[in-house]
Amino acid sequence: MNLADLKHLTDQRWDKELIPRLVDYVKVPAKSPGFDASWAAHGYLQQVVKEAFAWGQAQQIAGLRIEIVALEGKTPCIFFDVPATGGFGNAKTVLFYGHLDKQPEMVGWREDLGPWKPVIENGKLYGRGAADDGYAIYAALTLIAALDAQGAPRPRCVGIIESCEESGSPDLPAYLELLAPRFGDVGLVAGLDSGCGNYEQLWVTTSLRGLVGGTLTVEVLSEGVHSGKASGLVPSSFRIARQLLNRIDDPATGRLVDPVFHAEIPGERLQQAQVAGEILGDQVWKEFPWVGCNHGPDGHAHAMPTTTDPVDGILARTWRPALSVTGAAGFPSVDSAGNVLRPKTTFKLSLRIPPTVDGERATRQLKKLLTENVPYNARVSFDADWGATGWNAPETAPWLKRAADETSRSVFGKESAWIGEGGTIPFMNMLGEKFPRAQFLITGVLGPHSNAHGPNEFLHIPYVKQLTAAVAGIITQMPA
């Protein structure tokens, strides 16, 4: 296989065909069902699935079978199957994964940008979903077509593209069960829904944190009362909530208090974090949009991270638990807030847990800590979300490490890098349990400042081109 020629071919496809398709995809508010209860009636998820299917059906790939699979009451998915070439045989398969559903709008977009408004600027496609990860099905089938156009031998390739990943993939287990007989013996899972530490080399994801959380409500009164009359006698629901949260993490450091939420970091992950930290340096923390001011000694003071050590920073966001309050209710807006003691306080909690901590056990412990022995005998409820256990990749096979390094050098000029991710992708744990003997090539385009789930999300166009070629180079080296 001539990787340079293949990259030239895939680059042309991205420029002429795929980027315009993703521009159209960005325009569709195909929010995941967790953010659009009326998704079935609105039809946006069905629209993006049908459009991706129609494009896939038109590809000139010998033996390609592609279909929309839709179980009653569940979000649809796309399944494709392409037979092996060049004597590889169809015994071992590569399983591609991606999704077409999106996160909700989020506030804070630049005035000239928006979640459903595609804008191409400085090699980036702004808008919701292209990078996370509407590009996946287009990249997967394009790299297969490019390999076949070169006559490069490759394994059998199958793919599942779901449409509820951003809601925790609740429908995926049913589809995995339904389609399992058609996957074959999966030797490599190529998941295209992850991130990259920079845009200068191939990054492979080694682990993902789990996620537990829910809604905490503290009630003291049945209605609001005059703060001048009641404050000091009636305890503040906010203060009680604050006390309860202090049971979870240390307010001075953010460290989780209970050992149930912690896990030992494997030696291999420590070594990989060391290498990644040397590569990324201060970019580990400088990539975030810190609030700045102009009264520091150098005139450029800004908010600071919990650590400025790159290795410690990587481990902090990939292998250590952290609590965030992501939403609140029971608060009037600032301009309408009177001198009233509010009757209740509600917080939405999001607790990231290490990859090897059991999500259900962590959920039980979180609820216990928040609801037992409540101060002032206040009425406290904790409506737990489902607990998502994280994922830790199996030991990397020598062929995969060698293939990743060789291909990264050919495409990027640098060896591959391996790093954990702090986010939670529930399907990874599902796939890990489903295919315990498989190797995992989990990668993606969500690099510095790409801001997945947030405002000004973008797809880095040069990187997605390089990644497409790199994945093509790797799958050809899977042992037959």
Q: Is the pLDDT of residue 450 over 90?
A: yes
Tokens at residue 48, please?
Answer: 């993006």
Q: State the average pLDDT over residues 71-100.
A: 96
Q: In the 8-state DSSP scheme, what is residue 292?
A: B
Q: Report which residue type is found at 39.
A: W
Phi/psi of residue 216, each to 5°?
-100, 125
Ramachandran class of 254: left when φ > 0, alpha when ψ lies in -120 to 50, beta otherwise: left
Asked if 1 contacts 476 with a C-beta cutoff of 8 angstroms, the reply is: yes
- Ordered structural domains, the chain, with CATH: 3-208+390-475 (3.40.630.10), 210-283+309-384 (3.30.70.360)
Q: State the average pLDDT over residues 329-352.
A: 96
Min mean pLDDT across 65-74, 351-360, 414-423, 426-435 is at 426-435
Asked if 163 contacts 100 with a C-beta cutoff of 8 angstroms, the reply is: yes
Nearby residues of 424 by Cβ (< 8 Å), 6 or more positions away: 208, 209, 210, 211, 352, 388, 390
Please state, in angstroms and as integers, the Cα–Cα distance from residue 44 to each residue in 27, 84, 359, 476, following that order: 10, 34, 31, 36
DSSP letters along 140-154, please? Answer: HHHHHHHHHHHT--B
Min mean pLDDT across 158-162, 163-167, 272-276, 385-389 is at 385-389
Indicate the pLDDT class of residue 293, thresholds 50, 70 and 90.
low
Nearby residues of 136 by Cβ (< 8 Å), 6 or more positions away: 96, 97, 98, 99, 161, 192, 193
Host H or E run for residue 172: helix 172-183
Asked if 96 contacts 157 with a C-beta cutoff of 8 angstroms, the reply is: yes
What is the CA angle 447-77-128, rounded to 5?
35
Q: Which residue has the tokens 């490599």?
A: 188
Give the span between the Cα atoms of 316 and 313, in whole angstroms. 5
Ramachandran class of 112: left when φ > 0, alpha when ψ lies in -120 to 50, beta otherwise: alpha
Instruction: For strands 65-69 and 379-384, give the pairing.
Output: unpaired
Give the span between the Cα atoms of 264 and 256, in whole angstroms. 14
Per-residue confidence (pLDDT) for residue 288, from 0 to 100: 86
Phi/psi of residue 377, each to 5°?
55, 30
Asked if 99 contacts 193 with a C-beta cutoff of 8 angstroms, the reply is: yes
Tokens at residue 79, please?
Answer: 């399944």
Terminus-to-terminus CA distance in the chain, angstroms? 17
Q: Is the pLDDT of residue 175 over 50?
A: yes
Rounded to the nearest 10 degrees, the angle between the axes of helix 3-13 and helix 461-475 is 140
Q: State the average pLDDT over residues 417-430.
A: 88
Per-residue confidence (pLDDT) for residue 299, from 0 to 100: 57
Q: Report which residue type is found at 102.
A: K
Question: Within its chain, how far is the Cα of 333 from the centroid?
Answer: 32
Give the span between the Cα atoms of 95 and 84, in whole angstroms. 13
Asked if 350 contacts 324 with a C-beta cutoff of 8 angstroms, the reply is: yes
Q: Is the pLDDT of residue 408 over 50?
A: yes
Per-residue confidence (pLDDT) for residue 300, from 0 to 100: 66
Indicate the pLDDT class of residue 142, thresholds 50, 70 and 90.
very high
Asked if 25 contacts 80 with a C-beta cutoff of 8 angstroms, the reply is: no
Asked if 405 contacts 200 with a C-beta cutoff of 8 angstroms, the reply is: no
DSSP letters along 309-323, please? Answer: -HHHHHHHTTTS-EE
Give the span between the Cα atoms of 426 and 193, in whole angstroms. 11
Task: Give this prediction's pTM.
Answer: 0.88
pLDDT tens for each residue of 194-250: 999 999 999 999 999 999 999 999 999 999 999 999 999 999 999 999 999 999 999
Per-residue confidence (pLDDT) for residue 428, from 0 to 100: 85
Give the span between the Cα atoms of 130 and 119, in whole angstroms. 11
Q: State the average pLDDT over residues 147-174.
A: 95
Q: Is the pLDDT of residue 116 over 80?
A: yes
Nearest to 270 by CA among 419, 149, 405, 121: 419
Q: State the average pLDDT over residues 426-453.
A: 91
Mean residue pLDDT of the chain comes to 95
Q: Is the pLDDT of residue 298 over 60?
A: no
Q: State the average pLDDT over residues 41-47.
A: 98
Q: State the average pLDDT over residues 312-327.
A: 97
Query: Dihedral of the CA atoms 374, 376, 379, 385 (nearest 10)?
Result: -30
Min mean pLDDT across 66-75, 87-96, 295-304 is at 295-304
Q: In the 8-state DSSP scheme, what is residue 385?
A: P
Per-residue confidence (pLDDT) for residue 295, from 0 to 100: 47
Per-residue confidence (pLDDT) for residue 427, from 0 to 100: 79
What is the CA angle 22-170-180, rounded to 5?
85
Give the span between the Cα atoms of 325 and 349, in whole angstroms. 5
pLDDT tens for each residue of 456-473: 999 999 999 999 999 999
pLDDT tens for each residue of 72-84: 999 999 999 999 9
Per-residue confidence (pLDDT) for residue 297, from 0 to 100: 47
Rounded to the nearest 10 degrees, the angle between the axes of helix 19-26 and helix 135-150 is 170
Give the span between the Cα atoms of 190 and 157, in whole angstroms. 10
Q: State the average pLDDT over residues 246-267.
A: 97
Indicate the pLDDT class of residue 296, thresholds 50, 70 and 90.
very low
What is the CA angle 141-143-145, rounded to 5?
70
Give the span between the Cα atoms of 478 and 439, in whole angstroms. 10
